[in-house]
Amino acid sequence: MEALALRDPSAAPVAGRFGRHGGRFVPEPLIAACEEVEAAFTEAWADAGFRSDLAWLLSRYAGRPTPLTPALRLSAELGVTVLLKREDLTHTGSHKINNVLGQALLARRMGKRRLIAETGAGMHGVATATAGALLGLPVTVFMGERDIERQAHNVFRMRLLGAQVVPVRSGSRTLKDATSEAMRHWVSATEDAYYCVGSVIGPHPYPWLVRELQAVIGQEARHQCAEQLSAGTPDQVVACVGGGSNAAGTFAGFVETPARLVGVEAAGGAGAALGEVGVLHGFQSLFLQDEQGQIREAHSVAAGLDYPGVGPEHAHLRDLGRAEYVTATDQEALAAAVRLARAEGIVPAIESAHALAWVVRAAGTTDLPTGSSVLVTLSGRGDKDIATLMAYLGDEEAR
Amino acid sequence: MTTLETRLRRDRGRKLLMPYLTGGVTPDWTDHLRAIADAGADAIEVGIPFSDPTLDGVTIQEASDAALARGASTDGVLADLSRNRIEVPVVVSTYANLALRRGADRFCRALAEAGVQGLIVPDLPLEEAGATSAAARAANVDLALLASPATPPLRLREIAERSRGFVYAVSLMGTTGERRQLAASAAALARRLRGVTDRPVFLGFGISTPAQAAVAARDADGVIVGAALMRRLLDGADPASTAGFVRSLRRALDGVPARTSADAGG
**Residues A294, B127: C-beta atoms closer than 8 Å:** no
Among A75, A122, A155, which residue's Cα sits nearest to residue A375? A75
So which residues of A are the catalytic ones?
Answer: 96, 118, 379
Sheet holding B16-22, edge to edge: B142-144, B118-120, B90-93, B44-47, B16-22, B222-225, B201-204, B167-170, B146-147
Q: Which of residues 64-83 of B touch A (CB under 8 A)?
A: 65, 68, 73-75
CA nearest to A309, candidates A32, A170, A120: A120
B127-139 per-position pLDDT tens digit: 999 999 999 999 9
- The answer to whether the CB atoms of B97 and A295 lie below 8 A apart is yes
> Do residues A16 and A23 make contact, with C-beta atoms less than 8 angstroms apart?
yes
Average pLDDT, integer, range B224-236? 97
Closest residue, chain B, to A170 (C-alpha): B61
Interface test with chain A among B56, B97, B163, by most A beta carbons within 10 Å: B97
Q: Do B65 and A170 touch (CB under 8 A)?
A: yes
For the entire predicted model, the pTM comes to 0.95
Task: Give the residue from chain A lying closest to B168, CA to CA.
Answer: A28
Residue pair A157/A128 in contact (Cβ under 8 Å)? The answer is no
Residue B113 CB neighbour total at 10 angstroms:
12
Mean pLDDT of all residues in B238-245: 98
Amino acid type, A48? A
pLDDT at residue B260, rounded to an integer: 52
Task: Please list the pLDDT of chain A residue by residue as tens digits (399 residues).
Answer: 343 444 455 666 777 999 999 999 999 999 999 999 999 999 999 999 999 999 999 999 999 999 999 999 999 999 999 999 999 999 999 999 999 999 999 999 999 999 999 999 899 999 999 999 999 999 999 999 999 998 888 999 999 999 999 999 988 899 999 999 999 999 999 999 999 999 999 999 999 999 999 999 999 999 999 999 999 999 999 999 999 999 999 999 999 999 999 999 999 999 999 999 999 999 999 999 999 999 999 999 998 999 999 999 999 999 999 999 999 999 999 999 999 999 999 999 999 999 999 999 999 999 999 999 999 999 999 999 999 999 999 977 766
| Residue B38 among the catalytic residues | no
- In 10 A of CB B213, how many CB atoms? 27
How far CA B260 is from CA of B13, B126, B219, in Å, comes to: 7, 30, 13
Predicted ipTM > 0.90:
yes
* Cross-chain residue pair A183–B97, CB shorter than 8 Å: no
Instruction: Please say whether the dihedral angle defined by the alpha carbons of residues A121, A286, A195 and A95, taken in this order, is positive or negative.
Output: positive
Which residues lie across from B19 on neighbouring strands?
A: B225
Closest CA to A128 of A152, A153, A164: A164
- Which residues from chain B sit within 8 angstroms of residue A32, using beta carbons? 150-152
Cβ pair B173:A190 closer than 8 A: yes
Strand-strand pairing, A81-86 and A114-119 = unpaired
Q: Searching chain A, which residue's CA lies closest to the CA of residue B149? A: A29
Residue B264's pLDDT is what? 45
Segment holding A388, helix H or strand E: helix A386-398
B167 CB-near residues (< 8 Å, 6+ apart): B144, B145, B147, B159, B160, B193, B197, B199, B200, B201, B202
Q: Nearest Cα to A119, choosing from A239, A245, A284?
A: A245
Per-residue pLDDT at A5: 43
Note the pLDDT of residue B7. Answer: 84
Report chain B residues whose CB lies below 8 A from the CB of A287.
Answer: 97
Which long-range contacts does A48-55 make (Cβ < 8 Å, 24+ apart)? A50/A105, A50/A106, A50/A109, A53/A105, A54/A101, A54/A102, A54/A105
To the nearest whole Å, the CA of A309 is away from the closest chain B CA by 13
The minimal CB distance from A292 to the residues B101, B150, B155 is found for B101
DSSP designation for A89? G
Residues forming beta bridges with residue A117, ordered by sequence position: A141
B127 touching A (Cβ < 8 Å): yes
> Taking the CB of residue A45, how many other CB atoms lie within 10 A of it?
19
Q: What pLDDT sits at residue B259?
A: 63
User: Which residues have C-beta within 8 Å of that of residue A30, sequence separation ≥ 6?
Assistant: A183, A186, A187, A190, A203, A282
What are the chain B neighbours of A35 within 8 Å (beta carbons)? Answer: none
Q: Which uninterrupted H or E stretch holds B60?
A: helix B58-69
Are the C-beta atoms of residues A262 and A237 closer than 8 Å to each other?
yes
A255 to chain B, closest Cα gap in Å: 29
Query: Of A95-109, A144-158, B162-176, B195-209, which gets the smallest average pLDDT?
Result: A144-158
3-state secondary structure of A159: helix
Rounded CA gap, A183 and A204, in Å? Answer: 14
Measure the CA–CA gap between A204 and A37, rounded to whole angstroms. 9
Q: Answer whether A26 sits within 8 Å of B125, measured CB to CB.
A: yes
Contacts of B44 (CB under 8 A, 6+ apart): B18, B19, B20, B21, B33, B36, B37, B86, B88, B89, B90, B91
- In Å, how far are A375, B75, B99, B115 from B80, measured between CA atoms? 55, 9, 18, 11
Given this model, what pLDDT does residue B241 score? Answer: 98
**Interface contact flag, A292 B73, Cβ < 8 Å:** yes
Count CB neighbours of B76 within 10 A: 16
What is residue B262's predicted lDDT score, i.e. its pLDDT?
Answer: 44
Calculate mean pLDDT across residues B71-99: 97
Decide if pLDDT at B2 tops 90: no
Residue of A nearest to B126 (CA): A28
Q: Nearest-CA residue of chain A relative to B100?
A: A278
